[in-house]
Amino acid sequence: MKRNLPLFFAFFCGLLVIVSEFIPHRPFSMMIDTLQEWFMIISGFAIILGQISLFQSNINKIKQKDSGWMFYLAGLLSFILMLLVGLFWGTQETGGLFGHGVSLQANLGMKPFDYLFEFAYMPLSSTMFSLLAFFIASAAYRAFIIRSFESNLLMLTAVIVILGRTSFGSMLTGWLPESVRFWHLPNLSDFIMEYPNSAAQRAIMISAALGIIGSSLRIILGIERSYLGSDK
Amino acid sequence: MKGLLLIFALLVFSVGSPANTTALKVQDTPWDDGKALDITWTTSADSIILQKADSLGVWQTIFSGPAIPAKYSDRDLVPNKQYTYLLVASVGADSDTIRVTASAKPTEQWFYLHKLSFLIILLVVSMAILFYIQLARMGKDFYIRRISGLDSMEEAVGRATEKGKPILFVPGIGDLDDIQTIASLTILSQLAQRSAEYDTELIVPCRFSMVLSAAREVVKEAYLKVGKPDTYKEERIFYLTDDQFGYVAGIDGMMVREQPAANFFLGSFYAESLILAETGFSTGAIQTSGTAQASQLPFFVVSCDYTLIGEELFAASAYLSRDPQQLGSLKGHDFGKLLTIVLILIGVLTEIIGWHWFKAFFEGVQ
Residue B313 lies in a domain: yes
Question: Are B302 and B165 contained in the same domain?
Answer: yes
Q: State how far the Cα of A110 lies from the Cα of B102, in Å rounded to an integer.
A: 52
CATH number, domain with residue B227 = 3.40.50
Residue B226 lies in a domain: yes
Say yes or no to pLDDT of A2 above 80. no
Task: Give the DSSP per-residue string, A58-75.
Answer: HHHHHHTT-TTHHHHHHH
Per-residue pLDDT tens digits for A206-227: 999 999 998 888 888 888 887 7
Cβ contacts below 8 Å, chain A against chain B, sum to 213
Question: Are B287 and B313 contained in the same domain?
Answer: yes
Q: State how far the Cα of A68 lies from the Cα of A76, in Å rounded to an integer.
A: 13
Residue B67 lies in a domain: yes
Per-residue pLDDT tens digits for B147-171: 888 888 888 999 999 999 999 999 9
Question: Are B174 and B261 contained in the same domain?
Answer: yes
Q: Determine the average pLDDT of the residues in B221-239.
A: 92
Tell me the pLDDT band of A82, cut-offs 50, 70 and 90.
very high
Chosen for mutation from B311, B319, B330, B345 (greatest number of chain A CBs closer than 10 Å) is B311
- Higher pLDDT among residues A187 and A36, named by residue: A187
Which of B31, B238, B245 is opposite residue A53, by nearest beta carbon?
A: B238
Question: Are B297 and B341 contained in the same domain?
Answer: no
Search chain B and give the residue with CA nearest A221: B130
Cα–Cα distances in angstroms (integers) from residue B63 to residues B8, B49, B52, B71, in the given order: 38, 6, 9, 10
Tell me the pLDDT band of B62, cut-offs 50, 70 and 90.
very high
**DSSP state for residue B33 in the 8-state scheme:** B
Question: Are B155 and B251 contained in the same domain?
Answer: yes
Contacts of A196 in chain B (CB under 8 A): none
* Of the candidates A131, A130, A166, A159, the residue with the CA atom closest to the CA atom of residue A143: A159
* Minimum mean pLDDT range among A84-88, A209-213, B322-326, B346-350: B322-326
* Minimum mean pLDDT range among B114-118, B216-220, B318-322: B318-322
* Minimum mean pLDDT range among B133-137, B235-239, B247-251, B279-283: B133-137
Total tally of structural domains belonging to chain B: 3
* Of the candidates B93, B25, B85, the residue with the CA atom closest to the CA atom of residue B51: B85
Question: Are B22 and B39 contained in the same domain?
Answer: yes
CATH number, domain with residue B100 = 2.60.40.10
Tell me the pLDDT band of A1, cut-offs 50, 70 and 90.
low
Tell me the pLDDT band of B144, cut-offs 50, 70 and 90.
confident
Tell me the pLDDT band of A36, cut-offs 50, 70 and 90.
confident
Search chain A and give the residue with CA nearest B221: A229
The string over A71-106, giving b where at least 16 C-beta atoms fall within 10 Å of a residue's C-beta and e elsewhere, is: bbeebbeeeeebeebbebbbbeeeebeeeebeebee
Q: Determine the average pLDDT of the residues in A155-160.
A: 91
- Higher pLDDT among residues B95 and A31, named by residue: A31
Distance between B52 CA and the closest CA of chain A, angstroms: 25
Question: Are B154 and B287 contained in the same domain?
Answer: yes
Q: State how far the Cα of A209 lies from the Cα of B349, in Å rounded to an integer.
A: 24
**DSSP state for residue A120 in the 8-state scheme:** I
Say yes or no to pLDDT of B98 above 80. yes
Can you give the pLDDT at residue B15?
44
- Higher pLDDT among residues A159 and B326, named by residue: A159
Query: Are A43 and B175 within 8 A, CB to CB?
Result: yes
For A177, left (φ over 0), alpha (ψ -120 to 50), or beta? Answer: beta
What is the average pLDDT score of chain B? Answer: 88
CB of B262 closer than 8 Å to CB of B160 = yes
Can you give the pLDDT at residue B10?
44
Can you give the pLDDT at residue B6?
47
- In the stretch 145-164 of chain A, residues with CB closer than 8 A to chain B read none
Can you give the pLDDT at residue A4?
83
Query: Are B271 and A143 within 8 A, CB to CB?
Result: no
CB atoms within 10 A of CB A187: 16
Contacts of B313 in chain A (CB under 8 A): 208, 211
Question: Are B212 and B336 contained in the same domain?
Answer: no
Cα–Cα distances in angstroms (integers) from residue B50 to residues B37, B101, B160, B286, in the given order: 13, 10, 70, 64
Tell me the pLDDT band of B226, cut-offs 50, 70 and 90.
very high
Distance between B176 CA and the closest CA of chain A, angstroms: 9
Per-residue pLDDT tens digits for B16-57: 444 457 789 999 999 888 899 999 998 888 888 999 998 888
Residue B167 lies in a domain: yes
Which of B183, B240, B294 is opposite residue A204, by nearest beta carbon?
A: B294
Query: Are A227 and B32 within 8 A, CB to CB?
Result: no
Can you give the pLDDT at residue A151?
82
Cα–Cα distances in angstroms (integers) from residue A190 to residues A161, A177, B296, B297, in the given order: 8, 18, 20, 21
Say yes or no to pLDDT of B344 above 90. yes
* Residues in a beta bridge with B42: B23
**Which ipTM was obtained for this model?**
0.87
Say yes or no to pLDDT of A10 above 80. yes
Question: Are B349 and B265 contained in the same domain?
Answer: no
Residue B140 lies in a domain: no
Tell me which residue range forms the domain holding B120: 113-127+326-363
- In the stretch 5-64 of chain A, residues with CB closer than 8 A to chain B read 18, 21-26, 29, 36, 39, 42-43, 46-51, 53-54, 56-57, 60
Tell me the pLDDT band of A32, cut-offs 50, 70 and 90.
confident
Residue B1 lies in a domain: no
Question: Are B123 and B48 contained in the same domain?
Answer: no
Last residue of a domain, one of B322, B338, B353: B322
Query: Are B210 and A46 within 8 A, CB to CB?
Result: yes
Residue B7 lies in a domain: no
Query: Are B292 and A204 within 8 A, CB to CB?
Result: yes
Contacts of A206 in chain B (CB under 8 A): 337, 340
Per-residue pLDDT tens digits for B5-26: 545 444 444 444 444 577 899 9
Query: Are A132 and B271 within 8 A, CB to CB?
Result: yes
Can you give the pLDDT at residue B18?
46
B107-110 long-range contacts (CB < 8 A, ≥24 apart) are B107/B28, B107/B34, B107/B79, B107/B80, B108/A24, B108/A25, B108/A26, B108/A29, B108/B32, B108/B33, B108/B34, B108/B79, B108/B80, B109/A24, B109/A25, B109/B30, B109/B31, B109/B32, B109/B33, B109/B34, B110/A23, B110/A24, B110/A25
* Of the candidates B329, B171, B269, the residue with the CA atom closest to the CA atom of residue A213: B329
Q: State how far the Cα of B49 lies from the Cα of B217, in Å rounded to an integer.
A: 61
Chosen for mutation from B125, B175, B185, B209 (greatest number of chain A CBs closer than 10 Å) is B209
Question: Are B275 and B351 contained in the same domain?
Answer: no
Contacts for B94 with CB less than 8 Å, ≥ 6 apart? none
Say yes or no to pLDDT of B177 above 90. no
Can you give the pLDDT at residue B327?
84
- Higher pLDDT among residues A147 and B231, named by residue: B231
Can you give the pLDDT at residue B137?
86
CA–centroid distance for B207 within its chain? 21
Search chain A and give the residue with CA nearest B219: A229
Question: Are B168 and B303 contained in the same domain?
Answer: yes
Distance between B202 CA and the closest CA of chain A, angstroms: 15
Can you give the pLDDT at residue A89?
92
